[in-house]
Amino acid sequence: MQQPRLSIAELDRLLCAEFPQAFNTQSGLRIKEVWHGGARVERAFDGASLRPGGTISGPTIMMLADVTIYIAILATIGWVPLAVTTNLSVNFLRKPGPGALVAECRLVKVGKRLAVGEIAIRSVGQEDMVAHAVSTYSIPSRSADGDIIPSN
Amino acid sequence: MQQPRLSIAELDRLLCAEFPQAFNTQSGLRIKEVWHGGARVERAFDGASLRPGGTISGPTIMMLADVTIYIAILATIGWVPLAVTTNLSVNFLRKPGPGALVAECRLVKVGKRLAVGEIAIRSVGQEDMVAHAVSTYSIPSRSADGDIIPSN
Amino acid sequence: MQQPRLSIAELDRLLCAEFPQAFNTQSGLRIKEVWHGGARVERAFDGASLRPGGTISGPTIMMLADVTIYIAILATIGWVPLAVTTNLSVNFLRKPGPGALVAECRLVKVGKRLAVGEIAIRSVGQEDMVAHAVSTYSIPSRSADGDIIPSN
Amino acid sequence: MQQPRLSIAELDRLLCAEFPQAFNTQSGLRIKEVWHGGARVERAFDGASLRPGGTISGPTIMMLADVTIYIAILATIGWVPLAVTTNLSVNFLRKPGPGALVAECRLVKVGKRLAVGEIAIRSVGQEDMVAHAVSTYSIPSRSADGDIIPSN
């Protein structure tokens, strides 16, 4: 089994440094596990994401899906912060109750230009998915000496 | 041409009352136009949604897409606040610069149980789309006397 | 573990009788396994589905994905032939070489009105997916006496 | 307004020569119009695509969507036969009756590496869509002298 290119500690440090708006001590995001080809990320409960009926907002779930595949890609191919989402498709399956969410991403393709993964989102401790997402990221080209070539 | 079932003023009032976390004077959302089968909604620029490189975050764009189709559905079939997103699929096309966004939704189906719409998102004043989304909402059944029958 | 509602033999018989254009001795489709919540279906190789470069056409792959989730739904909830696809989203990951394909569907939601599943498609005997699909089916309402109520 | 790079006659000739399995005098496909950024393609009615209830099969609709965006891309950027579908997402909106279908594609992005378009599919002569699709194609890189560089 291949090792991830970046550990949880390395990812935490790099993400907080580069994306302070999204990753910070307040954001409630916590990388639980990374491996070659995937990642598992939790999001602590946060009253601001509640919607009428006591459920968590769709955008909160989409953001967690997007962050989790991004972390899975970084863990698998190394630090390419300029990888960008080109598609995110989410099916909302059940309304999550108030509580922490956990997303698990499994990459189904890691190509030179595109990575694709599916993401299962659950309430922590529950088996049924609250949402299922599939997302594609575009990976910037690198020149022979490692520089990123602008694309697209 | 059919009139919308709810005016901008009615939608503003109902949404602020029922979804104070998402619609409030701080949220920056502004319904610009509604018609039978569609809606146009702007989102004011907000520093918290900025990402490195001066672009606006994906979740911000997805939230605007989701709100806009919701408003288009309400304007078209009347007040059904329990309509819920079942699918949202977004293609990110170009990185928006810092600035206000405008989303325009056109419903392509309004059935008894499902409504489907496509949403074009642009930076205000620009022609090229920054993102294109398609979303499906599930519409709750109503009994003969107008009560909502739980479903799904 | 729950048993499927319909066995492979029952599904074969019902599908051939009701959908003779799609399921027949020529179609090359073969149900390999069904269980409560999923199905695995093979499609024999067929020269007419070849494309330049020796790969299998996209529509062939989409058809196999669509058939496989349909069979998974029937195996799980019983014979509801009027269930219809409302959405099918496919990511094409690698070009399959000429040869048989196998699709495996796992349902992630089976509600009263909607069923959602993800489908992995591979070349027989290979581990990497050639495509990954997610699909939603609308399930017709049934009245108390089992009649189907037209919807949507 | 920019001219298309390839005319209908040129596309007909090239497609029949390169994809004889999909484009031939029997396939029933007819390019009705192309422009810089889009295309309109008809598919004649064909008894083999009928399903119970007198409707046209989902895979037939998906194939027409896929062909139409491919033609739109070729008309817009010129002959890149190795462009491949990376994603196709279809919402089925209404059951088409037996009859010819027409698909109209509008490209919403034409980048160096990816092209994205939306496709409206209708029964010929009717206003309501029977399906709406969004698709992404990957465009092969070209070296400075026009050779295609394998990717992905």
- Pairing status of strand D84-92 against strand B141-142: unpaired
Task: Please indicate, yes or no, if residue C2 is contained in any of the structural domains.
Answer: no
Q: For A87-120, how does the pLDDT look when each residue is reduced to its tens digit (9 = 90+)?
A: 999 999 999 999 999 999 999 999 999 999 999 9
For residue D45, what are its two tokens?
């009615």
At C26, which CATH number? Answer: 3.10.129.10
Quick one: pLDDT at residue B22?
A: 80
Look at A10-14, A26-30, B69-73, B83-87 and tell me which has the smallest mean pLDDT.
A26-30
- Report yes or no: B83 and B43 within 8 Å, Cβ to Cβ: no
Taking residue C5's Cβ as centre, other Cβ atoms within 10 Å add up to 16
Quick one: pLDDT at residue A132?
A: 98
Judged by CB atoms closer than 8 Å, whether chains meet at D88 and C18 is answered as: no
Task: Please indicate, yes or no, if residue B25 is contained in any of the structural domains.
Answer: yes
Nearest CA in chain A to D139: A152
Give, to the nearest 10 degrees, the angle between helix A58-77 and helix B58-77. Answer: 150
CA of B15, closest CA in chain D: separation in Å? Answer: 28
Judged by CB atoms closer than 8 Å, whether chains meet at C114 and B87 is answered as: no
Picking from D87, D89, D108, D118 by the largest number of A CB atoms within 10 A of its own CB, the best residue to mutate is: D87
CA distance C138 to C152: 9
Task: Please indicate, yes or no, if residue D74 is contained in any of the structural domains.
Answer: yes
Judged against a pLDDT cut of 50, whether residue A137 lies above it is answered with yes
> Across chain A, what does the average pLDDT equal?
90
Quick one: pLDDT at residue A143?
A: 52
Judged by CB atoms closer than 8 Å, whether chains meet at C51 and D19 is answered as: yes
E-only strand ranges, B3-100 = 29-35, 38-43, 50-51, 55-56, 84-92
| Number of structural domains in chain A | 1
Quick one: pLDDT at residue D2?
A: 87
Quick one: pLDDT at residue B41?
A: 98
Quick one: pLDDT at residue D142?
A: 63
Task: Please indicate, yes or no, if residue A2 is contained in any of the structural domains.
Answer: no
Q: Which residue has the tokens 């946060």?
A: A46
With a CB cutoff of 8 Å and minimum separation 6, the contacts of C126 are: none
Mean pLDDT of A137-147: 68
The pTM of this model reads 0.92
Q: For C45-54, how does the pLDDT look when each residue is reduced to its tens digit (9 = 90+)?
A: 987 787 777 7
Task: Please indicate, yes or no, if residue D3 is contained in any of the structural domains.
Answer: no
Judged by CB atoms closer than 8 Å, whether chains meet at D89 and A86 is answered as: no
Cβ-Cβ contacts under 8 Å between A and D: the total is 28
Task: Please indicate, yes or no, if residue B2 is contained in any of the structural domains.
Answer: no
CA distance A138 to A136: 7
Chain C positions with Cβ closer than 8 Å to A: 89, 91, 93-94, 108-109, 116, 118, 120, 129, 132, 134, 136
Quick one: pLDDT at residue A86?
A: 96
CA distances, D67 to each of D39, D103, D105, D133, D135 (Å): 10, 9, 10, 12, 11
Judged by CB atoms closer than 8 Å, whether chains meet at A136 and C91 is answered as: yes
Picking from A89, A90, A91 by the largest number of C CB atoms within 10 A of its own CB, the best residue to mutate is: A91
- Please give the ipTM for the structure prediction: 0.90
Judged by CB atoms closer than 8 Å, whether chains meet at D109 and B118 is answered as: no
Which residue, B146, B81, B141, B136, is CA-closest to B107? B136
Quick one: pLDDT at residue C142?
A: 62
CA distance A37 to C66: 27
> Across chain B, what does the average pLDDT equal?
90
Judged by CB atoms closer than 8 Å, whether chains meet at D112 and A136 is answered as: no
Mean pLDDT of D119-146: 88
Mean pLDDT of B14-22: 87
Q: Which residues of chain D are within 8 Å of residue B129 when distances are taken between CB atoms? A: 108-109
> Across chain C, what does the average pLDDT equal?
90
Domain membership of residue D142 as a residue range: 8-149
Task: Please indicate, yes or no, if residue D55 is contained in any of the structural domains.
Answer: yes
Query: Touching A: which chains, 3+ CB pairs < 8 A?
Result: B, C, D
Chain D positions with Cβ closer than 8 Å to A: 86-87, 89, 111-114, 136, 138, 151-152
Judged by CB atoms closer than 8 Å, whether chains meet at C21 and D48 is answered as: yes
Q: Which residue has the tokens 């022979």?
A: A144
Quick one: pLDDT at residue B11?
A: 97
Q: Which residues of chain C are within 8 Å of residue D19 when distances are taken between CB atoms? A: 51-52
For residue A67, what are its two tokens?
């962050």
Which residue, C54, C28, C53, is CA-closest to C41? C28
